[in-house]
Amino acid sequence: MAVIKKVALFCAVFSLVFPFYGYAGEMGIREEINLLKQRIGVLEQRLAEQDKCIDDQKQCIVEQDRKISEYESKLSQFDADLHRQTGSPISIAEGLEIGAGATLIVQGANNVNNASSDAEKKASRTDGSYSTDITLAKEFSEIEGRAFLHLENGQSQGVEDSLTLYSNVNRDADDDVNVRVTEVWYEQGLFKDKAAVTLGKLDPTAYFDNNEVANDETTQFLGRIFRNAPTIDFPDNTLGIRLAYLPKEWVELGYGIFNASGSWKKINDNLFNIGQVTFKTNFFERAGNYRFYGWNNAAYYTKWLDSEKTKESAYGFGLSFDQKVSGIITAFLRYGWQDPGVYNPEISTIAGGLNYSLERSWSSGLQFEGKPWGRENDVLAFAIGQIFPSRDYKKAGALLDPARRAKPEGHLEAYYRIFVNKYLSLSPDFQYIWNPFGKDVPEDTEGVFVGGMRAQVDF
């Protein structure tokens, strides 16, 4: 009986306590759930903030890519616009840079075919030349403006004054020891550097008929035919204005007006006009540039078949391509044509007073980077080309000189640029010219071999 009472008492107490215990347990679970909900809310908020941060970073990356693309498409990078590569400029003040370089060349020719030179024809000859450059550049980033000054001097024509050719062998020859201003200009960028206007004393070859691997006589080919098309009568560093516009990243439009005479007098009487369109390609992720140009020169030309017409103008067109064909090989091609009916007695005259004119020219070649043989900074390059005298020049010769042959002059060139250090490179250079001056040098129709060494110093 006592046991039964105890059991009854336990059951009564348990029935009274259990509801409170269940209620308390339920309250604890609810609190845990609420706490978990709060923690989940905090985590969701943090995830949302991280997603927003990632989106901001993506937007920032897109904006950076856009700015990089705009920077890469700027119309006038100081180093890219210049035909000479004078090393890395040194910043001496905010936005102000200075660069300097020197080029020293020694060349020997096996057959000196210029009868007016102080050497006998068909004799060998070795000559040297040098040139120096000093550049000052200032960028006004707040107004998208740029200013540039280029000083030059040099000495000796090298072997060039001993050779009679349509296109000579040392584009760097500069026989003027006086330090002089060869370029000075101001450039204003427009529309976030999608357009630019450049005004001053300009080098037209820095903007037109340019090429990535055949446009710099201090580090690339020395022969003039491979520097620019010899069928373009470019004025030499003169007063001019250049306009450029990039409607798209892959196309650039350029136009230039220059004083053709170089005298800075009666500027509107002798104007050289040239326009160029450049297509920037990326075939198979290989960069390429395809340039097409046309020009007109209002300097006084004389008509070949009517010598009384002495105030004629000339015109021409051409192209200049360069294409990366592999990781280490770049190919180039250049072609030019000009009006065959006229000649300029101021620039198309050789020693002895003989006038001539050219009708078309072509050149092509390959550049190899030295990475495969463990010299990644070295360059090996080859080029070949021909120059054709004008048909009217040949016709006029048939009337005046029946012996005139007017054959196409051919050129071969190879060089190997040895990277010694970041300040010095050495380039053995070899050239061969067949049919020199169209075989019209009296009593001399043999080919000419030229071998030499170039040293380029940047400091």
pLDDT of residue 79: 42
pLDDT of residue 377: 96
pLDDT of residue 68: 52
For residue range 333-343, list pLDDT tens digits in order: 999 999 999 99
Residues 403 and 291 in one domain: yes
- 314 has a pLDDT exceeding 70: yes
pLDDT of residue 95: 75
Confidence of residue 270 (pLDDT cuts 50, 70, 90): confident
Residues 32 and 81 in one domain: no
Residues 45 and 161 in one domain: no
User: Helix %, strand %, coil % for the chain, to 5?
Assistant: 25, 45, 30
CA 67, 323, 417 angle in degrees (round to 5)? 100
Confidence of residue 440 (pLDDT cuts 50, 70, 90): confident
Residues 155 and 292 in one domain: yes
Domain that includes residue 303, residue range? 76-458
**Hey, which residues does 200 pair with through a beta bridge?**
185, 240
Other C-beta atoms lying within 10 Å of the C-beta of residue 1: 5
Residues 144 and 65 in one domain: no
Over residues 328-333, the mean pLDDT reads 98
Residues 290 and 198 in one domain: yes
Domain boundary among 54, 72, 90: 72
- 117 has a pLDDT exceeding 80: no
Over residues 124-134, the mean pLDDT reads 95
Residues 6 and 87 in one domain: no
- 435 Cβ contact partners less than 8 Å away, ≥ 6 residues apart: 407, 408, 409, 410, 445, 447
- 14 has a pLDDT exceeding 70: no
Residue 443 main-chain phi, psi, to 5 deg = 60, 20
Task: Enumerate helices (H) and strands (E) in the chain, giving the number of each.
Answer: 4, 18
pLDDT of residue 350: 67
Calpha distance 357→390 (Å, rounded)? 6
Q: Does residue 197 contact residue 169 with C-beta atoms inside 8 Å?
A: no
Encoded amino acid at 271, one letter: L
Residue carrying structure tokens 């009337």: 399
pLDDT of residue 441: 80
- 85 has a pLDDT exceeding 70: no
Mean pLDDT, the chain, integer: 85
Domain boundary among 57, 72, 87: 72
Domain count, the chain: 2
Residues 358 and 425 in one domain: yes
Residues 142 and 270 in one domain: yes
- 414 has a pLDDT exceeding 80: yes
Residues 94 and 53 in one domain: no
Residues 18 and 149 in one domain: no
pLDDT of residue 21: 43
**Concatenated DSSP letters of 403-415:** T---PPEEEEEEE
Looking at per-residue pLDDT, the higher value among 246 and 442 belongs to: 246
| CA-closest candidate to residue 237, choices 258, 254, 213, 219 | 258
Helix (H) or strand (E) holding 273: strand 271-283
Other C-beta atoms lying within 10 Å of the C-beta of residue 393: 24
Output DSSP code: residue 231.
T
Which tokens go with 25? 């347990």
% of the chain at pLDDT higher than 70? 80
Helix (H) or strand (E) holding 291: strand 286-303
Residue 420 main-chain phi, psi, to 5 deg = -85, -55
Mean pLDDT lowest among 89-103, 371-385, 440-454: 89-103
Please report, for the domain that includes residue 368, its CATH number: 2.40.160.180
pLDDT of residue 92: 62
Residues 109 and 216 in one domain: yes
What is the model's pTM?
Answer: 0.80
pLDDT of residue 17: 44
Confidence of residue 447 (pLDDT cuts 50, 70, 90): very high
Domain boundary among 35, 57, 72: 72
CA 255, 261, 262 angle in degrees (round to 5)? 85
pLDDT of residue 333: 98
Looking at per-residue pLDDT, the higher value among 264 and 62 belongs to: 264
- 388 has a pLDDT exceeding 80: yes
pLDDT of residue 233: 92
